[in-house]
Amino acid sequence: MRDRTGSFAHIWRACALGLGVALALSLAACNRQGGTDHAPLAGDKAVAKVADQTIWASDVKREAVAQGLIGEGEPLDTSSDLFRRVLDEVVDQKLLAQEAKKRGLDKSPLAQRRLAAARERILGDMLVEKTVDDSIDEEKVKALYNEQLRLAKQAEEIRARLILVKTQGEAQAVASLLATGARFEDLAMQRSVDQATRFNGGDLGYFTTDVMPDSYTKALAGAKAGSTVGPFQTDGGWALLRVEDRRVEQPLSLEQARPQILRFLTYDEVRQLLQRLRSKSKVQILLKAPPPGTAPSEPASAPAANLRPAETPGAGLSPAVAGPPKANPVLPAPKHPLPAQKATR
């Protein structure tokens, strides 16, 4: 599969931080950013010169991809503002590298070690890109999708509108107005204190009850489309709900699930690659593990231990409604824990 607009190598770039393999752009700049009078790629275009070093359009594009400004394989017009902005950064990078060389900074042992480390990171990244791109194809994507679809358990989805007020008396007054024929949407805009939904007529969109607080789940049990339930007490006050629709939860289409499937397959492929490399190599960790309970605290700027992206079920719901996070995978299956689907607004 070689659709470069959504390549697996690009998916890897998005995940590389979590796996500890990132491009070291600034350290490697003086070794890899342009500098030749011969076009590195067929049809390449010279776009600038810094002293005697040529900067090519491909250098600018590579920098834009590395910064995540465009995807792998996406076009970047040399007349665009983005191209000019990245070109200025490449020029500045080139000037800094040239000045560092003039001052002999590249000769120091520390510089040599840092440049070597940057080179190793780039080579490692290239290996991962090639491995992922060669290993994951459309057949694998479809196979995983179909397996997940077969194992998925479809729940019922409910679409409802909400009016949330502070007191029981206010809730009873709203219920009385509804009984006389007032429109639920109008009362939501006029009286609801839930700022996330009131200006949308109280619309919560479609959701499954497992992402809702227990009070909402109990109130909605058995409620038919078109019915109004409540008022009932919640953590945020007193609520009334109108059930707009009930339907069987629809699984994501292949195209909707594709980014999550690619992310999973990419992680899995990289994990296997690292396992194979470690099994064939002699790796010794010379540090002794600290005694239990005595590990030093991490720096405040250190990233969280779990860098894998996660989504919270119910994240699309109003803060006044969304309950505590619960597992709700997009394509539920014990073998392949894909990220969870957000509730549809």
Written as tens digits, the pLDDT of the chain (345 aa) is 444 334 455 554 544 444 433 333 344 344 444 455 678 888 888 999 998 889 999 999 989 988 889 877 788 999 999 999 999 999 999 999 999 999 999 999 999 999 999 999 989 988 988 888 888 889 999 999 998 888 877 778 889 999 999 999 999 999 999 999 999 999 999 999 998 898 999 999 888 888 888 889 888 888 889 899 989 998 889 999 999 999 887 788 898 888 888 888 888 999 999 999 999 998 888 888 788 777 666 676 666 654 443 333 333 444 444 443 333 334 433 333 343 343 333
CA atoms in the 13 A half-sphere facing the CB of 159: 13
Cα separation, 249 vs 206, whole angstroms: 9
Cα separation, 89 vs 94, whole angstroms: 8
- Structural domains of the chain ordered from first start: 4-136 (no CATH), 156-246 (3.10.50.40)
Q: CB burial class (10 A; 0-12, 13-18, 19+) of residue 71?
A: middle
Residue carrying structure tokens 């359009």: 57
Closest-CA residue to 170 (of 239, 220, 243, 216):
239
Query: Where would I find the beta strands (DSSP E) of 144-298?
Result: 156-165, 203-207, 228-234, 237-248
Q: What is the pTM of this model?
A: 0.50
Q: What is the dihedral of CA 168, 169, 170, 176, to 10 degrees?
A: 110
**Cβ-proximal residues to 167 (8 Å cutoff; 6+ apart), any chain:** 237, 238
**Which tokens hold the place of 139?**
């057949």
Cα separation, 311 vs 340, whole angstroms: 6
Which helix (H) or strand (E) segment holds residue 93: the answer is helix 81-102
Cα separation, 344 vs 313, whole angstroms: 10
Cα separation, 238 vs 193, whole angstroms: 10
| Longest Cα separation, the chain | 85
Task: Tell me the CA distances in angstroms from 192 to 16, 169, 217, 295, one per residue in order.
Answer: 44, 14, 20, 49
CB 336 within 8 Å of CB 329 = no
Residue 246 identity (one-letter amino acid): R
